Amino acid sequence: MATQLHRLYHFGEYHLDASKRLLLRGDEVVSLTPKAFDVLLALVERHGEVVDRDMLFKLVWPDTIVEDSNINFNISVIRKTLGDQKSGHRYIATLPNRGYQFVAEVREDIVAEEGMWTGELVSGGAGFTNRGTVEESPREQFESTSAASGTTSGAGTGWGSVGRRMLGPGIAALIAIAAAVAYSILPEARRGFLTEPDVVRLTAIGRVFDAAISPDGERVAYVLDDDAECQSLWLKELASGREFEVVPSVEGRFRGVTFSPDGKLLYYVARIGNDAERSLYAIPAAGGTPRRMMSQIDSLAVFSPDARQIAFVFEDQTRGSSLLVVASVDGANRRVVAERKWPAFFSVDGPSWSPDGRLLACAVMDGPGFNYRAVAVEVASGAERPLGEKYWDWMKRVAWLPDGKGLLVLARGHKLEKNNQLWRLSYPDGRAQRISSDLSEYRGMSITANGRRLVLVATQLHSDIWIVPADNPRGAAPLTSSAVQQNGLNGIDWLPDDRIIYTSQASGDTDLWTIDVQRNKPQRLNIPEGAPQYPSASPDGRYVVFTSGRNGSPRIWRLEIATGELRQLTDGELDIYPDCSPDGQWVFYSGIRDGLRTIWKTPLAGGTAVPLTDKHSEYPAVSPDGRQVVFLHQEERTQTPQAVLMPVDGGTPQVLASMPQPNVWPQVQWTPDGKSMSYVTTHNGVSNIFRRPLAGGPDVQVTDFRDRRIFAYAWSRDGSKLAVARGVSHGDVVMFAER
């Protein structure tokens, strides 16, 4: 293995590793956002020199136009992190009209370390150093946002015998993952290698959405987010490092990629263009023309051990059912193995076929609450039995181990962690053992036929709140400056007194907070538990309504802000996306009844809920005059969802012609004057807000951001400004391999 040179800088009590992109205080990894790390590195490398703003733009934001406030914001973050005092800066000095200077004494070392792979897993200070987007389908938004709350972590590196091991919590966690996985799946004779496994980051893009490894472990396919609307499929040859595009960027969303058992073909599930349904496609792994195999498929397709059949999940909206299905590889001979009535369902991350071909394992929700577990279903009879007694708050992919004695599971335990972590379930007793315990969110799990290599997509999310004047798109300024708290990630709204109410992990758990826009004083609201999301304030500011699973099932709750009095308003199944009416009388929301998600309204004071629609519909937003509600409406499964208007008392939906679909909550909103609809567009990982006049005319750009993605936004009551939760999500492929 090649020797790597690491350039280390020492200043004060800190150590900065430029190659591994780590900032440490002693052996503790210090969290910094990727851009803040870039700014710090640029100044430290030029310590003693004056670095002007133009130089920083060239070094940190090459070929990208960003606001001047980005430098101010990141300098402020660095100073707070390093403990610089306002009375005198020990590390970074500001020279008026000239620039910045790193004034602390810096000692520089170069350290050699062996055993590093090309494409080693590199920590980006607070997380991976790349940026991108992670998208989910509308039906999964509540699940994904409740489980995607990832902060930052130090990531792993390769391990060799030369050089000091500087292991932060994230690095140690990755070692634990590799060791535990190796112990679980390798024969006894091979377990000696687990003391020094290789952990390799295979991509350095930051926009990877899903991944799969070939049965022989020589190639990895991954889905790349090109922007919010487009994805592409790539393949990487591990021996040579060669990467090439298999499926060029298409408008659509992929869901599940797998290799054929012989490794010659790639199968992927995607909804392309204006297709209303997902389809299964096959394409030569070396590239070629994709062939559509079948439709009516909603999950990863997995092969039976004899390679003659595939298994997958299909969500049948006409039946209000989640179906576990097997079919011939060409899509013929479909047979429903098992059925679950909504809100119970089989995970759309797909099943896994047992090595003997008799069972299909799958993550399921027993509904209506967060009651996820793994089950085994007999292929022949459809008989279902749980794999152990453990329930999780959330569960994604499962994968049988090659010896059939256990499974790997990506899941989030009850109040134990914020993100999906890696677990092992022994079979047949179902004993659960948590393997990883770090701050990344894992997805896209795939293992080789011999179990000696495992790939995952490690993702992390960062979010902060910005204030944007409605008449000055370039005047945006940050209100919060701690991206690791994920401020506003799961919802934001305005109170009448120029305060903002938002979700945050500042306390360590997801809570509701308020912050005064003028005085910048955040305060936590007293909500005992339940990970509140999607806050909506009443017009008088007395109440805030939100979605919470505090009693086991996501429902709408009302909090009286002054007294802390908490009241449950709905008792349906997966009640989400609440919006208070302007007269303070009603709360509109989306809920499931008899397997169908529709729009409902319930009295803010408490009372009986009333249905507004009888077709699939979600994401309601009430007009400022209280007369109409806009929402996403789907007449039939085979039709494309549309943004529509409808009177608040019910009636015929009116389609908003060519209005962008709100694929990510809450894109489409009313402007406060009621004359326009605002929406979010995202291109190349950069989101901006536009408004479309209902009377006609060109769209008007409301924000002018040059980086980051928008997760949530809200107009102030007077329409003079917006609060925008924006940040980045990083996703890259990580492989654990036998050395």
Question: In the prediction, which pLDDT does 166 show?
Answer: 31
Measured distance CA(503)–CA(505) in Å, rounded: 7
Contact by Cβ (8 Å): 631, 619: yes
Q: Please give the mean pLDDT across all residues of the chain.
A: 81
Token reading at 121: 């897993």
Measured distance CA(168)–CA(22) in Å, rounded: 9
Measured distance CA(507)–CA(172) in Å, rounded: 24
Residues 268-306: b if buried by 16+ CB within 10 A, e if exposed: bbbbbeeeeebbbbbbebeeeebeebbebbbbbbbbbee
Question: In the prediction, which pLDDT does 25 show?
Answer: 86
Name the residue with higher pLDDT: 331 or 481: 331
Contact by Cβ (8 Å): 609, 601: yes
| 3-class secondary structure per residue, 473-540 | HHHCEECCCCHHHCCCCCCEEECCCCEEEEEECCCCCCEEEEEECCCCCEEECCCCCCCCEEEEECCC
Token reading at 443: 């997805």
Residue 31 pLDDT level (bands cut at 50, 70, 90):
confident
Q: SS3 for 593?
A: strand
Tell me the mean pLDDT in the region 191-201: 52
Tell me the mean pLDDT in the region 310-330: 92
Taking the domain 138-460+731-737, which CATH number applies? 2.120.10.30
Neighbours of 27 (CB within 10 A): 12
Token reading at 6: 């690491």
CATH-assigned architecture of domain 2-116: Orthogonal Bundle (1.10)
- CA 613 to each of CA 317, 343, 403: distance values in angstroms, whole numbers, following the listed order: 15, 18, 50
Stretch (H or E) spanning 737: strand 721-737
485: left (phi over 0), alpha (psi -120 to 50) or beta: alpha
Contact by Cβ (8 Å): 509, 502: no
Closest CA to 155 of 210, 206, 214: 206
Question: In the prediction, which pLDDT does 718 show?
Answer: 94
Amino acid at 146: S
Closest CA to 514 of 551, 546, 474: 546
Closest CA to 599 of 614, 583, 584, 582: 614
| pLDDT per residue as tens digits for the range 416-473 | 456 778 888 999 998 888 877 666 788 889 999 988 899 999 887 888 999 999 999 8
Check pLDDT > 60 for residue 196: no
Long-range pairs for 368-372: beta carbons < 8 A, 24 or more residues apart: 368/343, 368/344, 368/553, 368/554, 368/572, 368/573, 368/574, 368/592, 369/549, 369/551, 369/552, 369/553, 369/554, 370/394, 370/549, 370/552, 370/553, 370/554, 371/552, 372/347, 372/411
Low-confidence winner among 170-174, 177-181, 182-186, 499-503 (lowest mean pLDDT): 170-174
**Owner of token pair 């798109």:** 473
Question: In the prediction, which pLDDT does 17 show?
Answer: 86
Measured distance CA(45)–CA(243) in Å, rounded: 32
Measured distance CA(355)–CA(713) in Å, rounded: 47
Most confident of 24-38, 53-67, 425-439, 716-730: 716-730
Name the residue with higher pLDDT: 486 or 302: 302
Residue 110 pLDDT level (bands cut at 50, 70, 90):
low
Question: In the prediction, which pLDDT does 115 show?
Answer: 34
Tell me the residue ranges of DSSP E strands in 572-720.
Answer: 573-580, 586-593, 596-603, 610-611, 616-622, 628-634, 642-647, 654-655, 669-670, 676-683, 686-693, 700-701, 709-715
> What are the extents of the domains in the chain?
2-116, 138-460+731-737, 471-719
Question: In the prediction, which pLDDT does 658 show?
Answer: 61
Measured distance CA(534)–CA(146) in Å, rounded: 11
Q: SS3 for 60?
A: helix
Dihedral sign (CA 252, 253, 255, 257) = positive
Residues 6+ apart with CB under 8 A from 550: 527, 528, 529, 530, 557
Question: In the prediction, which pLDDT does 514 show?
Answer: 94
Quote the DSSP letter at residue 30: P
Tell me the residue ranges of DSSP E strands in 160-264.
Answer: 198-201, 208-213, 219-225, 230-237, 243-259
Question: In the prediction, which pLDDT does 729 show?
Answer: 79
Low-confidence winner among 242-256, 539-553, 662-676, 717-731 (lowest mean pLDDT): 662-676
Most confident of 315-324, 432-441, 603-612: 603-612
Check pLDDT > 90 for residue 270: yes
Check pLDDT > 90 for residue 611: yes
Cis-peptide into 305, omega within 30 deg? no
Dihedral sign (CA 495, 499, 503, 508) = negative
- CA 94 to each of CA 40, 50, 101, 383: distance values in angstroms, whole numbers, following the listed order: 14, 9, 7, 69
Check pLDDT > 60 for residue 400: yes
Q: What is the CA radius of gyration of the chain?
A: 26
Low-confidence winner among 77-81, 211-215, 234-238, 367-371 (lowest mean pLDDT): 367-371
| pLDDT per residue as tens digits for the range 204-221 | 888 899 999 999 999 999
Neighbours of 495 (CB within 10 A): 23
Check pLDDT > 60 for residue 313: yes
- CA 616 and chain centroid, separation: 24
471-719 has the same fold as 138-460+731-737: yes
Instruction: Give 139-182 as a DSSP string.
Output: GGHHHHHHH-------------SSS-----HHHHHHHHHHHHHH
Contact by Cβ (8 Å): 610, 658: no
Instruction: Give 283-315 as a DSSP string.
Output: EETT----EEEEES--S--EE-TTSSEEEEEEE
Token reading at 241: 């490092």
pTM: 0.68
Measured distance CA(345)–CA(675) in Å, rounded: 40
Q: Does the structural domain 471-719 have CATH classification 2.120.10.30?
A: yes
Question: In the prediction, which pLDDT does 470 show?
Answer: 92
Measured distance CA(9)–CA(3) in Å, rounded: 19
Tell me the mean pLDDT in the region 390-408: 89
